[in-house]
Structure 1
Amino acid sequence: MKEKILLFDLDGTLIDSTQAILESFINASLFFGFNFKGREQEIQTLIGYPLREMFIKMGLPQEKIEECVKLYRSNYERIYLQKTILLPKVMDSFKTLPSSYLLGVVTSKSSFFSKKILENLGMINYFFRIVGIDDVSEPKPSAEPILRALEGLEYDRTKVYMIGDTFFDMQSAKNADVVGIGVQGRYDKNLREYTDFVFEDIQQALDYIKCQL
């Protein structure tokens, strides 16, 4: 049994892919006659939701959603590697983690794009498992993505941490009965409503976890 298991959200927690997401979302919507230029801030508040829900919440008709998703992914695939960066302190803080920890990713992004991004950023080898939205029937805030990441492992739930920057991450942790650790990002400013453990950046969050018995 590993000493601790750390599961990380991706967007807003480890990486910043905001520009790639916004550009792909706006271009896909524009193709179907919905011009969201100038509403980037509104779209940004929806990052963390499954992509289909983002389009629905922005008012696209249900019958256009699947086509929008396909066009979004086509746009995104062309630009996502060039327009995605690691957030500050991520690489340095990972280098200080004990080898007795097991690390995974639980994200609402597809596992295909997630793996490509982490490989491009030199982070892929840190993770034993990457669970994307295409690996589950119910995404976060359901417990399913976390439980899928933990499949086949022996673990103490009090030493399993879900680290993320949105309500979806914290509620998923609660539903899976593991510890939710919030990292204050740009997408959700109300994390303290969902967890008692909120930190300014990933370094502070990981320092806290390392101090826990």
Structure 2
Amino acid sequence: MLVVKYQVILFDIDNTLINSADLVASTLRNGALKEGIDVPLSEYRKRIGQTGEHILKEFGVKNWQRVLSNYMVEFGKNMYKLAYFSGIESLLLGLKSKEVTIGVVTSKDRHQFDREVSCFPLIENMKIVTTSDLTDKPKPSGEPLTYTISAHGLDLARTLYVGDSVFDMQSAHEAGLDFAVASWGALPEAQFPTARYQLRNPMDLLKLV
């Protein structure tokens, strides 16, 4: 396989850079339970990568705005549990040393992003940040990535998107970007038929630039 040397690496955040999907899923579920909606935790976990609004509406939570408001409070209380995956800090610093442009394209809105990455300066200080409120359609639509390419004048062919979910893969495919699976955060049963790369660990990514 011909390996493209990428100039730009865009990342998902939850369970790609930060080991956070379980906390996101459990916090959403606890909020929905208070509204009388009892859906197994595993179903929430499968949907991480989509917006909280979308997930709650799919499960029939009518007062989803209230759940998301309370989510921010409860998630904030438990942020001390979050950490980078092993190797992520070295990866991000290594990409910077190679003068590779890095950024994030996430299903968090800007308020969530500002709150939830405040303890992760390598993410917080990225120059490219696309949050869900910047486009009409969130992932799995390709619109967030298409927006990012256009807004920052990026070369589509030299840009790679890295994520852990099928929603990330679908978004990249629709936008015409190469996609790499962050296997360290992906669900074991998830299938990624259109992914160009399967990354076993973060340092595998340095070989692509």
TM-score tier, shorter chain, comes to 0.7 to 0.9
**Are residues 178 and 133 of structure 1, via their aligned partners in 2, closer, same or farther at CA, if it must alter by over 3 Å?**
same
Alignment-mate amino acid for residue 130 of structure 2: V
Alignment CA distance shift 1:189-1:128 (3 Å): farther
How far apart are 1:19 and its partner, in Å? 4.1
Gaps of 5+ in 1: none
Q: CA deviation at 1:152?
A: 4.0
Task: Map residues 23-34 of structure 1 onto 2, 5 A cutoff.
Answer: 23-34=26-37
User: Offset at 1:108?
Assistant: 0.7
- In the other structure, the counterpart of 1:9 is 12
- Opposite residue 4 of structure 1, the aligned amino acid is Q
Show CA shifts across 1:114-139 (max 9, x none): 24443412313662121111222100
Give CA-to-partner distance per residue, 1:23-66, whole Å, 9 cap, x none: 32132112212345xx3223211211221222234x334x3333
The CA RMSD over aligned residues, in Å, is: 2.3
Q: Runs of 5+ in structure 2 lacking a partner?
A: 1-5
Task: Write the distance in 2 (CA, Å) between the matches of 1:115 and 1:99.
Answer: 27
SS at match of 2:195: coil
Deviation of the 1:11 alpha carbon: 0.5
- What secondary structure sits across from 1:96 in the alignment? helix
Contact 1:182 1:191 in 2 (8 A): no
Q: Tell me the TM-score normalized by structure 2.
A: 0.84
2:41 is aligned to 40
Instruction: Return the alpha-carbon distance in structure 2 between the equivalents of residues 65 and 145 of structure 1.
Output: 23
Alpha-carbon separation, structure 1, partners of 2:33 and 2:114: 28
Residue type of the partner of 1:138?
K
For 2:89, the equivalent position in structure 1 comes to 91
Larger deviation, residues 133-142 vs 113-122: 113-122
Q: CA deviation at 1:163?
A: 0.7
Q: What is the match of residue 60 of structure 2?
A: 60
Contact 1:103/1:129, CA 8 A, preserved across alignment: yes
* Partner secondary structure for residue 192 of structure 2: helix
| Segments of 4+ moved more than 4 angstroms | none
Aligned length: 202
Amino acid at match of 1:50: T
**C-alpha contact 2:105 2:131 (8 A) present in aligned 1:** yes
Sequence identity, in percent? 21
